[in-house]
Structure 1
Amino acid sequence: MTSTLSVAAIQLTSTDNWRDNLDTVKSLVNCCAEEGAELVVLPENVFLFDGKNMRALAQSSDQQIILDSITELATSLGIYLVVGSHPMLYSEDNHAVVGDRVRQSCLAISPQGELVSRYDKIHLFDVDVDDKAASYRESSVIEKGELTPKVIDVNGFKVGLSICYDLRFPELYRELTQLGAELLLVPAAFTYVTGKAHWNTLLAARAIENQCFVLGVNQCGWHNATRQTYGHSSLYSPNGERLTGLEGESGYFVCHIDKESLISQRSKMPCFSHRRF
């Protein structure tokens, strides 16, 4: 069993043009693979940053082109590829999503091209924010997923899946840790205002309280006239240290995580054995 894993985060300014977004993803994923990444994580809304048109994309023939392209990308490069979120018409048990909504699904694809796991977003961002958009109502275009935490195996590391607004709900990450997670993934599209206030604080908190590596992979920049995201994709250690990260521009980073440091942190401070609730 390997004791290290090379992980990569890709930070983008995705738009409403899925073809342009896909081309950018292909280029950056190739760069990550050339630098030895075994696991590459993409942000939320990576192929379409346009909530009102998610249903239309999921219903179109373009949907299969996107899904085939990312599968081919993972297999050709021999990597695990995690799509932060993508609109899907059906639940995991193949029930159609009602109305004009979709599921926001985090898709984990293996080097063999298998969909090894799918996590559907359970916490929906229905809030008011002091920015140009002012109001966000994800529930109008997204149907909540089932309360089923997902942990996958990536080359000997247990990896927990989540999406964006989930980050504010620590109980999900405790469940993932209880299932054995050692690395927690948070693909996101945090707004600039909420990201500046809380993004790094929340990532560090989830790392410290669960004694896990946490990889937050965010969108960045202006996506349209009213929507700006924060960027600052980051990797945190089980001790809450920011190991590496980006600022506010598009790009990527590749970094090794070490299972021995996680084991050491949990051994020195055995919080899980001290729990009373």
Structure 2
Amino acid sequence: MKVTIAQAPVTASMKDNLGAVLKLVESNAGTDLIIFPECVLSTYEPQDKDYIKNIDFAQLSKSHEACREMAVLHKTSIIIGSIDKVNEKYYNTAFIFHANGTIEKYHKANLAFLDKSFFSAGGSLPVFEIAGVKVGIQICREIMYPEQWRLLAIKGAQLLVHITDCIEKDKYSLWKSYLVSRAAENQRYVFSVNNAHKTQGSPTIAIDPDGKILEEIHSEKAESRQIELDMSKPRDYYLNQRRTDLVQITGTN
């Protein structure tokens, strides 16, 4: 499996964001999966009390369809951040636009403080299949909850994808250490993609199941890197030695 980590700008303009995304998809055609940041299609302005009210959902629907069409055209799957509206509720969402035209979604389960003013929390931690690889997804602050990542590994995820819009100062080294830990402790690939912003609070990074950094982008520019996964590397050595008589991690979904 070949995966692209694609750092794109998350600006206040949905059309500009979509344009940057589509360029990165075109330049990485031929990879099995392309990963983009949190809420890059919808914009991410949770500090604005009118954030949801200001979103043009007609344009957002067009952006979703454009990504679906590009996934089919280039025979690549896309994981990308946006907003999903379901029965008058809004979810901070990772959309999966599959190469065959189908769509799956992960709704962020553990919401940030500002998120809670606008979004409903997701109620499950699903594992998806992309190009024959089992994939789990986490969004932004969910890096703080290693039990969620562990549950995804227990469920069989081989690649753990993390999308974020982390632009806080002085967080880079800390969040990088979290990502390396999530990879090494679960013995899974961890690929994280951040906003292309002048302030980087988290890296756009690819880490192998031993905690080795394969690629890292520390830049405010729209950039991408391609990584070939060795699927013999994810393993259950640590998982199989858990003291389940002392600690049990179980999920309802």
TM-score over 0.5 for the pair? yes
Residue of 45, 48, 52 corresponding to 2:39: 45
- Residue 249 of structure 1 corresponds to 220
Amino acid at match of 1:240: G
Distance in 1, matches of 2:55 and 2:197, equals 25
For each residue in 1:153-191, what CA deviation from the matched residue of structure 2 results, as whole angstroms up to 9, or x when unmatched?
111211101111111100111111111000000011113
**Does structure 2 conserve the Cα–Cα contact (< 8 Å) formed by 1:58 and 1:89?**
no
Q: Which runs of 5+ in 2 are unaligned?
A: 248-253
Secondary structure (helix, strand or coil) at the match of 1:123 reads coil
The gaps in structure 1 that reach 5 residues or longer are 127-136, 223-227
CA distance in 1, matches of 2:228, 2:202: 21
Question: Is 1:259 matched up with 2:231?
Answer: yes
In structure 1, how many angstroms separate the alpha carbons of the residues matched to 2:119 and 2:196?
Answer: 22
**Identity level (%):** 23
Say yes or no: does 1:19 pair with 2:15.
yes
Q: How many residues are paired up?
A: 240
* Cα shift at 1:231: 5.2
> How far off is 1:194 after superposition?
5.4
Q: Which whole-Å CA distance do the structure 2 matches of 1:150 and 1:58 have between them?
A: 27
Aligned partner of 1:76 in structure 2 is 73
Moved more, 44-53 or 67-76: 44-53
1:203-222 aligned at under 5 Å gives the runs 203-222=179-198
Aligned-partner Cα distance in 1 for 2:85–2:121 = 12
Alignment of 1:84-123 (within 5 A): 85-90=81-86, 95-97=87-89, 102-115=90-103, 117-123=104-110
RMSD, matched Cα: 1.7
Report the equivalent of 2:205.
234
Per mean C-alpha deviation after superposition, the further-off stretch among 51-60 and 9-18 is 51-60
> What secondary structure, in the 3-state scheme, does the structure 2 residue paired with 1:56 have?
coil
**Aligned with residue 272 of structure 1, among 236, 239, 243:** 239
1:124 to 104, 111, 114: 111
Q: CA separation of 1:59/1:31 partners in 2, compared to 1, >3 Å: closer, same or farther?
A: closer
Distance in 1 separating the partners of 2:171 and 2:25: 25
